[in-house]
């Protein structure tokens, strides 16, 4: 307001000066030069004026533009529309600031998770360094062609190594299955006897109820399903594993999944084990058959897509080319399953129950489809190693020890009595 008042006063002053000059009979030149501080105006006197009056008068003028060019700012009136626009703009700025803060916090949390993940993976790197053979440190390019006798010898060694891993993984998953069942049974004060062929309970105990029968018999297959899913979906994808470590993880995952889906088929057909869950849930025959067929289809699909996993256990790319792929799968998967199943029958003979027999046979729905997936391609990069194929003695020793403890140590049975009690008393 004050600046506008000053401008009006200066304009009025200049107007009065020009008016009085006209009264005195002097002509004012319209052309004038603008300067920052002052300007010169030439005054031309009339013909009868003196020469003394013919001079240059210097005076200060303002820097304002001419009246025609000057623009005055119109004061905005406060309206509801303007207030609403201002409020919306301010709210938009606040939301943008909040969004930036959230994004910043998200980035910080992501960086922290990465750091924690690196710290957690240190122990795993140490374990890999410990188990990784030293000869694998020198990779080389394509292997030279070998003679026929060496190829036969190499295939025999691979077959034996895969067989050892097959039996070891089965015994580990089987014992985990039985220990989970007896541990859950101990919550209801039900003691059990673990044999090499079965887990025996006192069927005439009054502690049995419909609920704990379902829970106890379902606990073993449920634990197997969790183990199988974890080993195949998470643990198998870890980088830096050797071919035998991948094969060991793969066999554990397949055995564990078979003890869930295959156990349901075996339980429904024999009315034992997992079949008690279906019986005490009062499933009709049609529903039992339908779920059994679905379980077999799922096992077939898992086996079909497990071809890629078996190819990733190869120690050389020359072994999984189209020419030798079927031979490799036959040695790495089909023969170990066939020989290992016969060996398990022999170990549990003559006490093997029908439930275990059917469950070992359902493993065929996992292994046989492996040979029919000709389009499978391994995702992990196989690095050629300059290493001779030989029997891995550490797996052979573990194989012998586990078989001895399983057959001889559990022949008479181990009676498990686990009592758990929690008492809370005030001080």
Neighbours of 339 (CB within 10 A): 16
Picking from 9-18, 54-63, 313-322, 365-374, which range would have the lowest pLDDT averaged per residue? 54-63
In this structure, the chain runs to a length of 427
Place of tokens 């419909």: 210
Task: Output the six-digit token pair for 85.
Answer: 């626009």
Place of tokens 């086996």: 303
Residue 410: phi and psi, rounded to 5, are: -105, 15
Peptide linkage before 222 cis (omega within 30 of 0): no
Total-model pTM: 0.62
d(Cα 395, Cα 171) in Å, to the nearest integer?
13
Give per-residue pLDDT as tens, 271-304. Answer: 888 888 888 888 888 888 999 999 999 999 999 9
Picking from 89-93, 157-161, 308-312, 421-425, which range would have the lowest pLDDT averaged per residue? 421-425
Edge-to-edge strands, sheet with 27-28? 27-28, 39-44, 56-59
Place of tokens 């295939």: 155
Over residues 152-161, the mean pLDDT reads: 84
Over residues 191-195, the mean pLDDT reads: 83
Task: Output the six-digit token pair for 141.
Answer: 């390019």
Q: Radius of gyration (Cα) for the chain, nearest Å?
A: 46
d(Cα 26, Cα 10) in Å, to the nearest integer?
22
Give per-residue pLDDT as tens, 208-248. Answer: 888 888 888 899 899 999 999 888 887 777 777 788 888 88
pLDDT for 325: 83
Strand-pair category, 39-44 with 192-194: unpaired
Distance of CA 21 to the CA centre of its chain: 92
pLDDT for 243: 81
Over residues 186-201, the mean pLDDT reads: 82
pLDDT for 365: 92
Distances (CA, A) of 409 to 102, 187, 402, 416: 61, 26, 10, 14
Place of tokens 């006209």: 22
Task: Output the six-digit token pair for 254.
Answer: 């397949």
**pLDDT grade for 24, boundaries at 50, 70 and 90:** low
Strand-pair category, 192-194 with 414-416: antiparallel
Write down the H helix ranges in 234-324.
Answer: 243-257, 263-270, 275-280, 285-305, 307-311
Over residues 38-52, the mean pLDDT reads: 46
Nearest Cα neighbor of 155 from 275, 19, 316 is: 316
Domain ranges of the chain: 2-59, 154-416
CA dihedral 223, 224, 227, 233 (to 10 degrees): -130
Strand-pair category, 414-416 with 199-201: unpaired
Over residues 142-170, the mean pLDDT reads: 77
> Would you say residue 206 has pLDDT above 70?
yes
Task: Output the six-digit token pair for 391.
Answer: 């029997």
Task: Output the six-digit token pair for 121.
Answer: 């993976």
Peptide linkage before 155 cis (omega within 30 of 0): no
Half-sphere exposure of 23 (CA within 13 A, CB side): 6
pLDDT for 92: 86
């Amino acid at each position: 307001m004050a600046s506008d008042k000053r401008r009006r006063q200066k304009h009025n002053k200049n107007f009065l000066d020009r008016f009085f000059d006209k009264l005195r009979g002097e002509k004012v030149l319209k052309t004038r030069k603008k300067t920052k501080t002052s300007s010169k105006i030439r005054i031309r006197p009339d013909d009868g004026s003196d020469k003394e009056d013919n001079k240059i008068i210097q005076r200060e003028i303002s820097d304002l533009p001419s009246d025609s060019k000057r623009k005055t700012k119109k004061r905005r009136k406060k309206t509801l529309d303007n207030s609403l626009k201002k409020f919306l703009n301010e709210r938009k700025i606040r939301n943008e600031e909040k969004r930036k803060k959230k994004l910043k916090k998200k980035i910080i949390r992501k960086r922290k998770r990465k750091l924690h993940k690196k710290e957690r993976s240190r122990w795993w790197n140490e374990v890999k360094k410990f188990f990784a053979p030293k000869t694998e440190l020198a990779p080389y390019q394509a292997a030279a062609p070998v003679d026929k006798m060496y190829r036969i010898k190499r295939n025999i060694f691979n077959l034996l190594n895969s067989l050892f891993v097959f039996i070891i993984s089965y015994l580990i998953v089987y014992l985990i299955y039985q220990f989970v069942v007896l541990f859950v049974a101990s919550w209801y004060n039900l003691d059990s006897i673990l044999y090499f062929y079965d887990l025996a309970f006192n069927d005439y105990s009054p502690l049995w109820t419909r609920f704990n029968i379902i829970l106890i018999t379902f606990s073993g297959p449920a634990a197997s399903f969790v183990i199988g899913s974890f080993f195949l979906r998470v643990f198998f994808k870890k980088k830096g594993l050797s071919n035998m470590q991948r094969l060991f993880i793969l066999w554990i995952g397949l055995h564990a999944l078979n003890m869930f889906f295959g156990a349901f088929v075996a339980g429904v057909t024999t009315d034992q084990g997992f079949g008690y869950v279906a019986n005490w849930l009062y499933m009709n025959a049609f529903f039992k058959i339908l779920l059994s067929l679905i379980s077999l289809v799922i096992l077939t699909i898992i086996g079909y897509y497990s071809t890629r996993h078996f190819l990733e256990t190869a120690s050389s790319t020359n072994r999984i080319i189209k020419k030798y792929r079927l031979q490799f799968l036959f040695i790495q998967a089909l023969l170990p399953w066939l020989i290992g199943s016969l060996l398990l029958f022999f170990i549990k003979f003559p006490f093997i129950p029908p439930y275990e027999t059917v469950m070992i046979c359902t493993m065929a729905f996992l292994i046989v489809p492996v040979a029919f997936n000709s389009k499978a391609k391994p995702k992990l990069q196989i690095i050629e190693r300059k290493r001779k194929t030989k029997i891995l003695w550490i797996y052979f020793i573990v194989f012998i020890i586990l078989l001895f403890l399983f057959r001889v140590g559990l022949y008479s049975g181990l009676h498990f009595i686990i009592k758990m009690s929690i008492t809370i008393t005030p001080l």
